[in-house]
Amino acid sequence: MTQLLSVKCRLIVSKELRTEIDATLQGFADACNQILKIGQGFKQWNTTKLHHLAYKTVRASTGLGSNHVCMAIRRVVGNVKAVKQIHKFRPTSISLNERTFRYWEETQEVGITLTKRHRFKLAIGGYQIALLRGQKITSATLNKTRQGDYYINFVVEIDTPPTGKTPKVIGVDLGRRDIATTSTNKSWSGEQIQTVRDRFSRVRAGVQSKRTRNSRRLLRRLSGREQRYQKWLNHNISKELVQVAKQSGAALVFEDLTNIRQSLNEKPRNKTERRRTNNWAFHQLRIFVQYKAAIAGVSVVFVPPGYTSQTCNRCGHIHPIKGKSYRSVKKFKCGYCGFEHDADVNAAMNIAALGLSFVSQPERPGMNCQLEGQIPLLTIFQI
């Protein structure tokens, strides 16, 4: 099996070539906007058919090379299929294929076709060099940041070891108070990220109330800083989780939290709690864990989230009265057997039990409630 990775490398660009790159980026954005308008007019999102409708017109109006126009058509079609609403394309990136760029591993240079082919030095470290070593790279993206720096993102395909079966699992409970808690009693507090997000929210509210000329630019900067901090934190947590699982030869088991925001927002919640729930970046953490685990040969299993926080890990009981729970904030105390534990660790142990029944004995359920009339957790699946 293989895994696709994006390797980000900074380009060393002279002042003379910055204008040419910016003009190409602007032309590519204009091409995408024209193609989008043509596609909407004809209601046509088939790549081949849209190519016949837009290619000659777009190339004549933008002056782009044929390969750039073809990549613009693919960019538009891909975006339309990926998201419900497409906004205006901005001159921040351009898609490249093997005909519009070339990477030289010996000199750490890349050739990119603008109005003509230019060679650029790469400012990269050992991590990027190791990922690019021996790779035949066929696609990349040239990006310009808000700070005016230029990067190229190479798409590389690396071999991943098979995961196989394992008798060991580590359950991971995700939350806002603690971002992640494992069944081995390790946790990552969410207090600092929540403090950072609350601070950014207050600053944004102050900027929006003033409505100055620079408000929009400042809001984008604040959003970028907040997102970068969350991304850095999730990268570190996912790295540690995968490392621990690999060292112990265990699989990682998570709850499948698809549509969790919608279900939480349906409940009565104040404005602050709604904002905090919508800022919960559990999906990003899940993506980071999945690709890191694939590279490390660690299996990742997803199980249903129902009753994992309410069930006693020792006896399998939940509170007999609907709407009530043995869990109180961070404390779990079973009213049937008296078992007391950290509530998040108890949930992680339940998640691990469900995951273990899948990775080692798929024919047997891992958890079953002992109370009459309650719903057993029998359905297990893997993504």
Return the domain boundaries, the chain: 2-159, 169-189+234-359
How far apart CA 135 and CA 129 sit, in angstroms, is 10
Whether 33 and 88 have beta carbons less than 8 Å apart is answered as: yes
The answer on pLDDT for 367 being more than 60 is no
State the average pLDDT over residues 293-318.
Answer: 92
Q: pLDDT digits over 132-170, tens only?
A: 999 989 999 999 998 899 999 999 998 888 877 778 999
How far apart CA 329 and CA 80 sit, in angstroms, is 43
For residue 224, what pLDDT is reported?
Answer: 83
Task: Read off the pLDDT band of 179 (50, 70, 90).
Answer: very high
For residue 365, what pLDDT is reported?
Answer: 44
For residue 361, what pLDDT is reported?
Answer: 57
The answer on pLDDT for 285 being more than 50 is yes
Q: pLDDT digits over 266-279, tens only?
A: 777 788 877 777 78
Residue, of 303 and 379, whose pLDDT is higher? 303
Closest CA to 281 of 218, 219, 197, 352: 197
Task: Read off the pLDDT band of 360 (50, 70, 90).
Answer: low
Task: Read off the pLDDT band of 216 (50, 70, 90).
Answer: confident
Q: What is the mean pLDDT of the chain?
A: 88
H-only helix segments in the chain: 15-42, 47-62, 66-82, 126-132, 191-210, 215-248, 260-265, 271-278, 282-296, 343-359
Q: Count CA atoms within 13 Å of residue 350 on its CB side.
A: 32
SS3 of 224-262 = HHHHHHHHHHHHHHHHHHHHHHHHHCCEEEEECCCCHHH
Q: pLDDT digits over 37-59, tens only?
A: 999 999 999 999 999 999 999 99
State the average pLDDT over residues 209-231.
Answer: 83
Task: Read off the pLDDT band of 11 (50, 70, 90).
Answer: very high
pTM (2 d.p.): 0.77
The answer on pLDDT for 377 being more than 50 is no
State the average pLDDT over residues 2-22.
Answer: 94
The answer on pLDDT for 381 being more than 50 is no
CATH 3.30.420 is held by the domain 169-189+234-359: yes
How far apart CA 263 and CA 175 sit, in angstroms, is 15
State the average pLDDT over residues 52-70.
Answer: 96
For residue 204, what pLDDT is reported?
Answer: 83
Residue, of 203 and 61, whose pLDDT is higher? 61
For residue 217, what pLDDT is reported?
Answer: 79
For residue 214, what pLDDT is reported?
Answer: 81
